[in-house]
Amino acid sequence: MKINGRETDVTCSDIKEIIEEHLELLPKNSEKEVAFFGGTFTGIDKRIQEGYLATVKPYIDRGLIDGIRLSTRPDYINEKILDLLLKYGVTTIELGVQSLDDEVLAKSERGYKSNIVEAASTLIKSYGFKLGIQIMPGLPGSSNKTDYETAEKVLKIKPDIINPELPACHQGHPANMHDSNIPEKEAKNSALSKEKAWNLFAEYLTLRQKQKKTDEELSIISDKMEKLFDSDENNTVETMIGAITRTEDHNGNRRWILEVSGA
């Protein structure tokens, strides 16, 4: 279900209809979640929030759905809100953080500072929710250095999910790419290749942070990383926040090192 900003025209009947339809199609023993994305769920009217959650809760109680996932802003999180979400079976909360640099947040008019993100993340984890963090390199006022520092700070928070996103395109150009003078076609191709490398690297780091992940899962991501380097004689791939270099330790184990451009 998509929530636009802090408003929505989705009805409880719509939610029930969508759930019933998908329960007919999905395998009986598969893991199932209802997700509310696309806006600030905890910012919409509380009565609407509770109506949505109360519509889903019976399916959780009957074992037909495993939980609820939603996205919101870090400044729309507090104990009262989390008490409500816990009551109705919410399992995962993704925060639209975008950056952990206060200057970037101010220039992007996010309306909060990095300490709000850290406090919201700590509170969410203390309640036992799975925590997701969405970050967006290339925002107004950002640089390779600030984007890398944001990634480092996010890893220290230790979320269960890291979701890196590229800024929205405007008139064919990626918003505030660090080199704004490149031609339109080159900018698009560059954005796609950098997005792929950044997504894989972020996923690899996330898996390394989660000790419960299996060696097989890490191996899958490692294989994807290897393919990025296969055609590069210098063992280096440029990303949005710097260069990833492929190396080996003294035991022959493959490693990737991220070197920040312009840091």
Structure token digits, residue 95: 């925060």
Least confident of 102-106, 138-142, 240-244: 240-244
Check whether 127 has a pLDDT greater than 90: yes
Residue 108: per-residue pLDDT: 86
| pLDDT score of 195 more than 80 | no
Establish if 249 belongs to a structural domain: yes
Q: How confident is the model at residue 221 (pLDDT cuts 50, 70, 90)?
A: low
pLDDT, tens only, 135-194: 887 788 887 778 778 888 888 888 888 877 755 443 333 333 333 343 444 444 444 445
Q: Is residue 134 part of a domain?
A: yes
On the question of pLDDT at 51 being above 90, the answer is yes
Q: Which residue has the higher pLDDT, 9 or 177?
A: 9
- What total of structural domains would you count in the chain? 1
Question: Which of 40 and 57 is assigned the larger pLDDT?
Answer: 57
Compute CA distances 215 → 23, 99, 222, whole Å.
32, 30, 10
- Residue 254 has φ and ψ, to the nearest 5°, of -75, 135
Q: Name the residue range of residue 83's domain.
A: 73-260
pLDDT, average across residues 254-263: 57
**How does pLDDT run across 67-84, given as a tens digit for each residue?**
999 999 999 999 999 999
Q: Compute the half-sphere exposure of residue 169: CA atoms within 13 Å on the CB side of its CA.
A: 11
If you write DSSP's letter for every residue of the chain in order, what string do you get?
Answer: -EEEETB----HHHHHHHHHHHHHHS-TTS--EEEEEEE-GGGS-HHHHHHHHHHHHHHHHTTS--EEEEEE-GGG--HHHHHHHHHTTEEEEEEEEE-S-HHHHHHTT-SS-HHHHHHHHHHHHHTT-EEEEEE-TT-TT--HHHHHHHHHHHHHH--SEEEE-PPPEETTEETT-S-TTS-HHHHHHHHHHHHHHHHHHHHHHHHHH-TTS-HHHHHHHHHHHHHHHTT-TTSEEEETTEEEEEEE-TT--EEEEEEETT-
- Checking if the pLDDT of 56 tops 60, the result is yes
**Residue 55 covered by a domain:** no
Name the average pLDDT for the chain: 75
Residue 41 lies in a domain: no
In a domain, 19, yes or no: no
**Between these two residues, 217 and 51, which has the higher pLDDT value?**
51
Q: Which of 126, 178, 129, 120 is closest to 154 using CA atoms?
A: 120
Kindly tell me if the per-residue pLDDT of 232 is higher than 60. Answer: no
Asked if the structure places residue 44 within a domain, the reply is: no
Judge whether 137 lies within some domain. Answer: yes
Percent of the chain whose pLDDT exceeds 70: 60
pLDDT above 50 (res 24): yes
Indicate whether 8 belongs to any domain: no
| CATH number, residue 117 | 3.30.750.200
Would you say the pTM of this structure is higher than 0.75? Answer: no
Rounded mean pLDDT, 89-99: 93
The residue that leads in pLDDT, 128 or 191, is 128
The residue among 38 and 169 whose pLDDT is bigger is: 38
